Structure 1
Amino acid sequence: MKKKRMLRLPCLLLALCLLLGGQALAAPEGATVWGYSEGLAQCELDGKWGFVDAQKKVVIPLKYNSVVSFSLGLAAVNLDGKLGVIRQDGAYLIQPEYGTLLPLDCGLYVVQKGTRWGVASILPFSDGQGGTTNLLYDLIYDSATITEQGGTRVLTLTRDGEVTKIPVFDLPRILVEKGVPSARFSLTRGKLPSFSDVSPRDWFAVWVDIAYNVGLTSGVGGNRYAPDQTLTVAEVLKLAATMESRYKDDSFHTSSSTGPYWYSGAVNYCLASGIIQSGTFTQQDYLRPATRREIAQIFAATSQAKHMKNINDLAKIKASVPDVKPGDAGADAIYSLYAKGVLTGVDSKLTFNPKGTVTRAEAAAIVARMARAEQRLALWGEYNPNVFAG
């Protein structure tokens, strides 16, 4: 069983090894490994910090003055006295150039450089002048603070005596209006599950955390997530319908499902949205395990997937996935999700296994990457967040 789990490991560790030039190295002798969070642990030697995986292999070099543990796939780091934010392969989401870095919700941070303050996003967006920016509020303010007023958290920006107050709950709407990627699936700081069957060392812990945080997955009862449980066709359609509804900002994901079965509303919504066609599945299909090919076809047909940008070369994907050939059933959908950094295969060779089933752990990885652009995986090159800015 342990060998099978390793073969199913999504290629985050592949990406980490590629980043390090192939083979990840063991933590150096004398290094101290601290507690695990989302599959990685802080590691320190002679005042320099980095991260190791569950096998104590270094995945983020020990070069930082200090680090904090990963949460929702993000970690703040201190490099030579300057603060930034990295993701789990060490790629910067916010460059280490700030003197102060205070987390807000929605992937936003209050930042300070010199005497100026502003608010930075982990994902860049269009600056309206043909370029990109990651500053939601420019570094022009004398101060930026987060306070609580009447039970509401408020971001207060002060400039030349003028005060601007923004309720933190209003930030998701502002991000959507600015065209910030993933704004429909905003992160909520501190909203983390504590499932008894998800260990901080597990490869899927980060994906379960993110998928739960953005409201796409939940437990099965009894404080369990059931990561090895197989997803049915109906469950996949419910996930796809929820994601489609959130992306379109309509009411399906907030309304009660109607119909003779718990999944009837999701099936009807997917039919109406064109995610599936009449006759794609029979009534007998909905409660059987979904195949990996089917899950790719379903998610690739969502509006979210259609509008996502490629971060991996499509031609190289077609030449590299060993068990999917052009013209195969679902091939275009499978290739598309590899190109967008959502699918990574079941092993280091990018094998897809189209007839295999999908576990709840794997489903969490897929929907987390679909929902959150900063978590999509570049298979052969360095992650570049600017590719998502429009």
Structure 2
Amino acid sequence: MRRRRGARAAAVLLALALGAGPLLLPAAAAVPAGATVWGYSEGLAQCELDGKWGFVDAGRNVVIPLRYDSVVSFQLGIAAVNLNGKLGVIRQDGKYLIQPEYDTLMPIDCGLYLAQKGAGWGVVSILPLSDGKGGSTNVLYDLVYASVRVDEQGGTNVLTLTDTEGAVTKIPVYDLPSILAQRGAASAQFPLTRGKLPAFSDVSPRDWHALWVDIAYNVGLVSGVGGGRFAPGQTLTVAEAIQLAATVESRYRGDSFHEETASGAKWYTPAVDYCLANGILKAETAARTDYNRPITRREAAELFAATSLAKSLPELNDRNRVRTSVPDVHPGERGAEAVYALYAKGILSGVDGGMTFSPGGTFTRAEAAAIVSRMARAEQRIVLWGR
């Protein structure tokens, strides 16, 4: 993104997971008189008044203030913005992922941007990396290069960095996830791929779940049901939830489970066996489960909280405060600690403003996309009470 006035489309609002509530967006006010609202994408639309840009929700409420010189559409939950001539990147609630301090930002894969500041070019990340000194930084390659670009060479996209002496370093883009992992970046096992977006006929750009469907599809955790449809409101069965949990686990661990089924076996048997082997399912639970019935939210929370990925996530919210704040889940109940863990780790926020969980409710495909998107992508996790 160079310094330019607003582009159309925009993005992202109600971040519901397991029937969860809003992603704690700033207090909203109605669109001011005379403002222009552009097209929607992932739940939000760009809005402009007197040369200042922000974002509004499907109810035409301003959720990201009209303060920017220009903005671009949200894609996969992030958008570049221009504040006082400097560029940065925000997520749906207006939080900066990259501070507005760059003269140029151009997105590439993996949540990375080619960045320019003055005469220097480099590469910056939406997620923090280890700086090698016990701290963190958003800079992957220092802004000391004469130029950086991505070119296609022999059918492969290559990041090319040219220093001030003319020396050239070439890095295949497919190597970037492993480089990010070496630098301690979260979500390196689930890299974002720029431009890889679904076009499901039953997911509207105004829908709260459009963002989560986009991310979960982009990182390869969900697909459609056929006929160009995603079926966001369709209830997930126990078997389907186990299959999804197995997919998350295998991607995180970097292994695979055999999807081929033996003659006469059920289609979900490999996923069940994989979850049993990795401690996600208990043998006594697997033995008595009706795999074709709808899974409840409580059961889904237990399932996903038991994955290696969920266990590895840092807590963003105080778990003791979570225990006293979720009104319909009580300590000592079945699955309570799993539910509390997912709230504490920024995966759940509740079905309403009161953090209600609704443990006995069913679990839809849209909600499944939301929970696995937040698990996979650290920049989308929720801080419930601020810092």
TM-score (ref. length: structure 1): 0.92
Q: Percent identity?
A: 68
Q: Aligned Cα RMSD in Å?
A: 1.4
Say if 2:103 is the partner of 1:99: yes
For each residue in 1:47-72, what CA deviation from the matched residue of structure 2 results, as whole angstroms up to 9, or x when unmatched? 00000000001110000000011100
For each residue in 1:245-267, what CA deviation from the matched residue of structure 2 results, as whole angstroms up to 9, or x when unmatched? 11110122xx4333401100000
Q: Match of 1:187, SS? A: coil
1:12–1:377 CA contact under 8 A, matched in 2: no
- Tell me the residue number matched to 1:30: 34
- Tell me the residue number matched to 2:285: 280
Cα deviation, residue 177, structure 1: 2.0
- Tell me the residue number matched to 1:185: 190
- Tell me the residue number matched to 1:169: 174
Distance in 2 of aligned mates of 1:184 and 1:148:
23
Cα deviation, residue 311, structure 1: 0.8
Q: Match of 2:88, SS? A: strand
**Alpha-carbon spacing, 1:333–1:9, altered in 2? closer, same or farther (3 Å):** closer
- Tell me the residue number matched to 2:276: 271
What is the aligned counterpart of 1:343 among 344, 348, 355? 348
What is the aligned counterpart of 2:248 among 216, 235, 243? 243
Cα deviation, residue 284, structure 1: 5.0
Cα deviation, residue 281, structure 1: 3.1
- Give the residue type in structure 1 aligned to 2:20: P
- Tell me the residue number matched to 2:45: 41
1:237–1:266 CA contact under 8 A, matched in 2: yes
1:318–1:326 CA contact under 8 A, matched in 2: yes
Cα deviation, residue 344, structure 1: 1.3
What is the aligned counterpart of 1:130 among 131, 134, 145? 134
Distance in 1 of aligned mates of 2:217 and 2:271:
19
Distance in 1 of aligned mates of 2:377 and 2:187:
5
Cα deviation, residue 95, structure 1: 0.6
- Give the residue type in structure 2 aligned to 1:72: L
- Tell me the residue number matched to 1:294: 299
- Give the residue type in structure 1 aligned to 2:195: G
Distance in 1 of aligned mates of 2:281 and 2:252:
17
What is the aligned counterpart of 1:307 among 312, 324, 343? 312
Distance in 2 of aligned mates of 1:274 and 1:93:
34
TM-score (ref. length: structure 2): 0.93
Distance in 1 of aligned mates of 2:289 and 2:172:
48
Q: Match of 1:281, SS? A: helix
Q: Match of 2:255, SS? A: coil
What is the aligned counterpart of 1:77 among 71, 78, 81? 81
Cα deviation, residue 11, structure 1: 2.3
Q: Match of 1:34, SS? A: strand
Cα deviation, residue 8, structure 1: 8.0
- Tell me the residue number matched to 1:86: 90
Q: Match of 1:184, SS? A: coil
Say if 2:68 is the partner of 1:64: yes
**Alpha-carbon spacing, 1:223–1:176, altered in 2? closer, same or farther (3 Å):** same
**Alpha-carbon spacing, 1:51–1:158, altered in 2? closer, same or farther (3 Å):** same
What is the aligned counterpart of 2:116 among 112, 122, 126? 112
Cα deviation, residue 312, structure 1: 1.0
1:257–1:264 CA contact under 8 A, matched in 2: no
Distance in 2 of aligned mates of 1:257 and 1:265:
7
Distance in 2 of aligned mates of 1:239 and 1:172:
22
Distance in 2 of aligned mates of 1:126 and 1:8:
32
Distance in 2 of aligned mates of 1:9 and 1:116:
46
Cα deviation, residue 210, structure 1: 0.2
Distance in 2 of aligned mates of 1:361 and 1:282:
28
Distance in 2 of aligned mates of 1:53 and 1:8:
21
1:73–1:375 CA contact under 8 A, matched in 2: yes
Q: Match of 1:185, SS? A: coil
Cα deviation, residue 296, structure 1: 0.5
Distance in 2 of aligned mates of 1:54 and 1:303:
36
Unaligned runs of 5+ in 2: 1-15
Distance in 2 of aligned mates of 1:134 and 1:8:
31
- Tell me the residue number matched to 1:205: 210
- Give the residue type in structure 1 aligned to 2:177: P
Name segments (4+ residues, structure 1) moved above 2 Å: 6-13, 255-259, 281-284
Q: Match of 2:220, SS? A: coil
Say if 2:143 is the partner of 1:139: yes
